Amino acid sequence: MTAAAAGFSMPPEWSPQEAVWLSWPVEDPRHWGGGKRDVMWATFAEIAAAISRHEPVRINAPGSDHGAIAAGLCSLLVFLKLGWTSAFALFLTYFFMSIMFPTIFSLGIYGLGARAKKASSFIVMAIMGGAIMPKLMGHIADKDGMSAGFIVPLVCFIWVVGYSLLWSKLSGSEGVVGVDTTKGH
């Protein structure tokens, strides 16, 4: 079956559209070379700002709330005791958790200037996942079963999603377009 037969078409570029979608560039030295990240981000922000003067821009950023949503859904699948699906979801949870902390850390110190070092130390010290949450999860698991214990990470992932969705309001930024990447934190 062709795309046209499935009802898809390639509209002309002057057709009305809801928004322009841009994907945030990956931070990979193989693509941009050493020391060029800030230039790349500033250029990307300028492009998004120029387009946004004429029509809405949506930016697909890696990490952000997607990892937390996916990890939360995986925790829910484990909680629901779905056999091998739950076992597979358990392993996927670890993958999605691995992409969350760098995003949380970056958003947490954004715009703090000289206070970024102190704030980053508080963020690192405040990681409760390795100290308190496993004990709470274990307590629930001992009482109601191992899969019931996964309600704890599910609640934590909901918290992370809430933070990522409220980040622009909490930080006072209007998103990536308002970020000046040439001045650091």
The domain at 64-173 falls in which architecture?
A: Up-down Bundle (1.20)
Kindly report the number of other CB atoms within 10 A of residue 67's CB atom: 24
The 10s digit of each residue's pLDDT in 138-157 is 999 999 988 898 898 888 88
Distance CA 143, CA 74 (A): 22
Check: CB of residue 11 under 8 Å from CB of residue 50: no
Q: Domain boundaries in the chain?
A: 20-60, 64-173
What is the reported pTM?
Answer: 0.53
The 10s digit of each residue's pLDDT in 16-28 is 777 777 776 665 5
